[in-house]
Amino acid sequence: MRPLSDSHLIEVYHEAKAMQLSEEFIGLIEHALEQRGLSSHLNDDHKSLA
């Protein structure tokens, strides 16, 4: 499986939050965002990368 692009990872994060998926799953996505230096997108309301 190919890794997600940054924009797709951010989209997955927002969708997981909106769907109230498990905190464990959301935590994994948050960790991936932090590793990519995208932690500024955590808890943002659907901001784009632009």
E strand or H helix that includes residue 15: helix 6-18
- pTM of the shown model: 0.78
Number of domains comprising the chain: 1
Domain with 14 in it:
6-40
Residue 2: predicted pLDDT = 82
Considering the domain boundaries, does residue 27 fall inside one? Answer: yes
pLDDT of 49: 46
Task: Please give the DSSP secondary-structure letter assigned to residue 25.
Answer: H
Amino acid (one-letter) located at 43: N
**Residue 48 placed within a domain:** no
Residues of the chain short of pLDDT 50, as ranges, are: 47-50
